[in-house]
Amino acid sequence: MTRRETSAELFERFRSNLTIRTLLKAIQREIKPLNRSLRIMEVCGTHTMTLHRSGLKPLLRETGVEMVSGPGCPVCITPDFYHEAIIDLVTSRRNIVVATFGDMTRVPTRKGSLQTTVPAAGSEIKIVYSPEEAQELARNRPDSEVIFFGAGFETTIPAIAFTVRQAASEGLKNFSLLGALWLIPPAIEAILQSGEVTIDGFIYPGHVSAIIGQQAYEFVAEKYGLPGAIAGFEPADILLGLLSVVRQIRQGQPTVANEYRRVVTFNGNQKARQLMAEMFEPFEATWRGLGPIKNSGLRLKKEWQSFEAREKFRLRFEAGRPHPAGCRCGEVLKGLIDPVECPLFARSCHPDHPLGPCMVSYEGACLIEYKYSSGAKRK
Amino acid sequence: MCLAVPGKIISIEPNGTGKVDYMGTTVVANLSLLPEAKVGDWVIVHAGFAISRLDRQEARRTLRLFKQLEKLNSSD
Ligand code: SF4
């Protein structure tokens, strides 16, 4: 067998109808004796995407599992005031290059979006695919100040840490970071502590877990008595995770199952975790919808402050006022409402004219819902 | 967003990057977070960095589990 056949065969099995039917049936068998339906939160936006795209959501509902989307979209949970601060800078100062991921440029704020804003003379907004690409811009444009405006979870943070350290060792002085860097476990804990939403268990993110490892979620089982499973991104991966969660509920033994062992280990990626700890320190960050959460964000440590755009350009963050459009993204991110329950969904808010980040980002629950189910039908 | 599919490392350069093949499409990934990576490994790449190796034995184990569940279902 050639190597290509091996990988193709592998992934075909994770998507095949037979596997999906088999797993749904197994879940059904486990759920039956419970005599009730379950509400399970998928924390990660890429899982939300798989669930919709593969048509699993309604099938699971029939089986007795209601999937609730969580806060796992970094673009969505980054509050407006990050964007507003960087918009203020790029419109008022010359020779500023804001380098950011594509969907970040489309987030609407009271001051427009990075896409609609008109930069000052010599300044511009550039879309990049990686922090290293932003760094390359800084190398090539010594007369400009390049700011990487990056939103991300533990999956992306090590790459950003590496890039800043690299900039420091090169002595690259015209490069800095406006990081919107979020940590998943504190957000899960905040959702549990708020007690606003009833959840029977969690599907934990696959690639965040590749970095932080299975160990990171133990508090959910130990302190809150809730089951959970780490899952990969193929339809069968999610079902395998759910099978484990339902089984944990039936047996009354909540734990952290790792159903993505081909990629995730108990301790995660040690090298990446070390690098994060070397460059960043946790602080009480404010999430859209969830508000301030202790130790839930990362910022550069004191010794790297010359790369901190907030300090370097004295960016002013004006937290507080809600977005005037009446966007309910915050409640979507907490699992309190489904996108369709937002009165603006598919009416004044749609992908061509998003009113909130949840309709902008590819991982945003509103965009995903629009693309794969109700929104598309209404069109 | 997470790219679910792993790619295969086809070469490693002295500067710590590697060429990763996705069914014929090649991308360059920084391998610094995965010092143990070698040519022939399947890796997950995120934001330009390889973050994890795919353990093919574990993948096969999961496939075997699917088979077992199939049998269990048909004996229902
Ligand atoms: S549909 Fe639009 S306005 Fe409503 S919550 Fe989603 S992003 Fe916000």
pLDDT tens by residue, A72-95:
999 999 999 999 999 999 999 999
The 3-state DSSP class for residue B50 equals strand
Mean pLDDT in chain A? Answer: 93
Q: How confident is the model at residue A2 (pLDDT cuts 50, 70, 90)?
A: very low
Per-residue model confidence (pLDDT) at position A373: 78
Q: How far is A237 from chain B (nearest CA, A)?
A: 9
Q: How confident is the model at residue B3 (pLDDT cuts 50, 70, 90)?
A: low
Q: How confident is the model at residue A316 (pLDDT cuts 50, 70, 90)?
A: confident
How far apart, in whole angstroms, are the C-alpha atoms of residue A85 and residue A73? 21
Are A244 and A259 contacting, i.e. CB atoms less than 8 angstroms apart? yes
How far apart, in whole angstroms, are the C-alpha atoms of residue A259 and residue B67? 16
pLDDT tens by residue, A180-199:
999 999 999 999 999 888 99
- Closest approach atom of ligand 1 to CA A332: 5
Are A300 and A280 contacting, i.e. CB atoms less than 8 angstroms apart? yes
Q: How confident is the model at residue B75 (pLDDT cuts 50, 70, 90)?
A: confident
A7 pLDDT more than 80: no
Q: Do A132 and B46 touch (CB under 8 A)?
A: no
Question: Which of B1, B4, B66 is opposite residue A13, by nearest beta carbon?
Answer: B66
Per-residue model confidence (pLDDT) at position A318: 79
Per-residue model confidence (pLDDT) at position B76: 63
| Contact list, A7 vs chain B (CB under 8 Å) | 6, 8, 23, 42
Own/partner long-range contacts of A12-20 (Cβ < 8 Å, ≥24 apart): A13/A236, A13/B63, A13/B66, A14/A232, A14/A234, A14/A235, A14/A236, A14/A237, A15/A54, A15/A234, A15/A235, A15/A236, A16/A236, A18/B70, A19/A235, A19/A236, A19/B66, A20/A54, A20/A56, A20/A59, A20/A235, A20/A236, A20/A239
Q: Where do the structural domains in chain B lie, given as residue ranges?
A: 7-74
Is A366 touching ligand 1 by the criterion CB < 6 Å? yes
Q: How confident is the model at residue A6 (pLDDT cuts 50, 70, 90)?
A: low
How far apart, in whole angstroms, are the C-alpha atoms of residue A178 and residue A83? 10
Q: How confident is the model at residue A120 (pLDDT cuts 50, 70, 90)?
A: very high
Is A356 touching ligand 1 by the criterion CB < 6 Å? yes
Q: Residue A327: which of A352, A306, A344 has the closest Cα?
A: A344
B-proximal residues of A, 325-354, CB under 8 Å: none
CB atoms within 10 A of CB A277: 13
Name the least confident of A55-69, A237-251, B60-74. B60-74
Q: How far is A81 from chain B (nearest CA, A)?
A: 22
ipTM of model:
0.92
A379 pLDDT more than 50: no
Q: What kind of architecture, by CATH, is found in domain A35-331?
A: 3-Layer(aba) Sandwich (3.40)
How far apart, in whole angstroms, are the C-alpha atoms of residue A298 and residue A279? 9
Q: A15-24, A219-228, A319-328, B5-14 — which one is most confidently predicted on average?
A: A219-228
Per-residue model confidence (pLDDT) at position A81: 93
B7-74 CATH fold: SH3 type barrels. (2.30.30)
Q: How confident is the model at residue A322 (pLDDT cuts 50, 70, 90)?
A: low
A4 pLDDT more than 90: no
Name the least confident of A155-159, A321-325, A375-379. A375-379
Q: Is the dihedral of CA A292, A216, B49, A360 positive or negative?
A: negative
Is B51's Cβ below 8 Å from some Cβ in A?
yes
Q: Where do the structural domains in chain A lie, given as residue ranges?
A: 35-331, 332-378
A324 pLDDT more than 70: no
A375 pLDDT more than 50: no
Q: Residue A114: which of A86, A137, A135, A138 has the closest Cα?
A: A86
- Closest residue (by CA) to atom 3 of ligand 1? A327
| Contact list, B27 vs chain A (CB under 8 Å) | none
The two structure tokens encoding residue B56? 């093919």
